[in-house]
Amino acid sequence: TEWTTPLRYKPYHQWSKSYQDMLAAELEQSGWKLAFHIQPKTGLLNDPNGFSFYNEKWHLFYQAYPFGPVHGVKSWYHMVSDNLVDWEQHDYVLLPDSPYDSHGVYSGSAMTVEDKLFLMYTGNVRNEEWERHSYQLGAWMNTEMEVEKITEPLIDSPPAGYTHEFRDPQVFRYQNHYLMMIGAQTKNEKGAVLAYQSSNLTDWELLGELDYTTEEMGFMVECPNFVLVDGQPVLLFCPQGLDKDISSYQNIYPNMYVIGSSFNKETVSIENTSDLINLDEGFDIYATQAFQAPDGRVLSVGWIGLPEIDYPTFEEGWAHCLSIVKELSIKENHLYQKPVAEMQELRQNHQELQGSAQASDTLLSSPDSNVYELKLELNAGTSGSLYLFADKQNKEGLKISFDAKHDTISMDRSKAGIPFGESYGSTRTAALKRQDKLTLHIFADRSVCEVFVNDGYRVITSRVFVKDPQQTHIFLQGFEGDYTGDFWTLREMN
């Protein structure tokens, strides 16, 4: 198919059921299909939206284009869970069917308000000249999971001085008001985050531009997400076109964060902010959303994928997945991300790992499939590598290397299967704090690898597309000294 603009914006009802069934069948047969990650029912998935807890269940929506692996006209797809690991596919719930969202139901958020779930999102509209108009829209979901759009926009245009690159509202309670953060672009094309306030969710008053950095944030900021973690304000955001001298990154667009000491609503500023930090040191994380759950935990989920990059699954008609759910915390002004405790519910067969690593290859395990959890504790006094998704001879595989001299960790995916996104490099390197032990906590899921380093001090995420399903070997190399660890096969999500 040639994905022309008219085809990408063809109304949903004009696509046949048999075509969608064919896409579903193709995904079903894919060797890269995920076992426990949220993936699209058909077509393309991008940003997580509306991550929330409502009516005793977890709710998570995602940006969906059901008809192919392209960014066509978007809707929200709804997933529901009791435990944050088993996600039930519910339905497409916000469709691009109103004059305010005809060209896409774009990203947004959700919040429980009394007995309903309030959804806020951006309606994307193009006119005849293909000029963009962005509306900020609302909807209510009830306990039957029926969603009803609010007919009139909550905010019908950007404020003076800003363009229609104006999207991804994040709504939350703050003291005795509702606050909303939204991605924006100034008339001279600089990225910004705007803050709004409301007392009734209908009338929104602009507080101003959020002050969280003195640097220029590229040409656009997407998916801003403000959250208090252990009492400290954290802003997660995706600056597009950020100057690499301001903060170094290699992905086409980075997902970054800053931590501050406090939030001052009067001046709309996050005070004493850190430098910009990469939220993930890998290749494929974008548009992360976090919220404070009623149980007090701050939970996050990201899109494992990036705009404008071709992935090998495009040939199979589908694209991308979401990350596992992570729990955020702060220690010594650094954000830690850990796999949510409920991930343990997926564990099946356990194997204890223990031994002495040698300079040459040490085979740790060769499971039947790349659907597992691996925890390793290694001597951080010597350098070494861990190979995942490796073949028998350890010629091909995903290489994770630790450099004891410089306290850095790298991931090299150049030999990990079908190459993609190579123009942005095949290696990523992150700095670590010096400590005696290196701990790696890894979730592998057929074509995804998420590595939590030193209790979540760093996270490195990558898609991996091995050509041969036998590439499941796990080797250690270097790391002189003893290692200990645990290996579990994991079940599929229910």
Strand order in the sheet with 408-412: 362-365, 473-478, 384-390, 398-403, 408-412, 427-431
Tell the smallest beta-carbon distance from residue 402 to ligand FRU (Å).
Answer: 32
**133 vs 297 by CB, closer to ligand FRU:** 133
- β-strand pairing of 318-319 with 43-54: parallel
DSSP states of 280-294: -SSS-EEEEEEEE-T
Tell the smallest beta-carbon distance from residue 240 to ligand FRU (Å).
Answer: 9
Tell the smallest beta-carbon distance from residue 65 to ligand FRU (Å).
Answer: 8
How far is 27 from 34, CA to CA, in rounded Å?
Answer: 10
How far is 199 from 419, CA to CA, in rounded Å?
Answer: 50
* Contact present, 162 and 205 (Cβ < 8 Å): no
Tell the smallest beta-carbon distance from residue 370 to ligand FRU (Å).
Answer: 27
**Which phi and psi angles does 383 have, rounded to 5°?**
-80, 160
Tell the smallest beta-carbon distance from residue 118 to ligand FRU (Å).
Answer: 18
What's the half-sphere exposure (Cβ side, CA atoms, 13 Å) at 386?
A: 26
* Contact present, 395 and 417 (Cβ < 8 Å): no
Question: Which one of 47, 168, 284, 445 is the catalytic residue?
Answer: 47
Take residue 379 and report the two structure tokens written for it. Answer: 């001597």
How far is 402 from 381, CA to CA, in rounded Å?
Answer: 10
Count of CB atoms situated within 10 Å of the CB of 288: 27
* Contact present, 124 and 103 (Cβ < 8 Å): yes
Query: Would you tell me which residues interact with ligand FRU (CB under 6 A)?
Result: 46-47, 63, 74, 106-107, 122, 167-168, 222-223, 286-287, 307
**122 vs 401 by CB, closer to ligand FRU:** 122
**73 vs 464 by CB, closer to ligand FRU:** 73
Q: Is the dihedral of CA 16, 21, 24, 26 positive or negative?
A: negative
The distance of Cα 90 from the centroid of its chain, to the nearest Å, equals 20
- β-strand pairing of 232-240 with 398-403: unpaired
Amino acid at 159: P
Tell the smallest beta-carbon distance from residue 256 to ligand FRU (Å).
Answer: 14
**109 vs 401 by CB, closer to ligand FRU:** 109
Tell the smallest beta-carbon distance from residue 95 to ligand FRU (Å).
Answer: 14
**286 vs 479 by CB, closer to ligand FRU:** 286
**286 vs 318 by CB, closer to ligand FRU:** 286
**252 vs 330 by CB, closer to ligand FRU:** 252
How far is 303 from 141, CA to CA, in rounded Å?
Answer: 23
Catalytic, 47? Answer yes
* Contact present, 330 and 265 (Cβ < 8 Å): no
How far is 365 from 195, CA to CA, in rounded Å?
Answer: 50
The distance of Cα 31 from the centroid of its chain, to the nearest Å, equals 22
Please identify every residue annotated as catalytic: 47
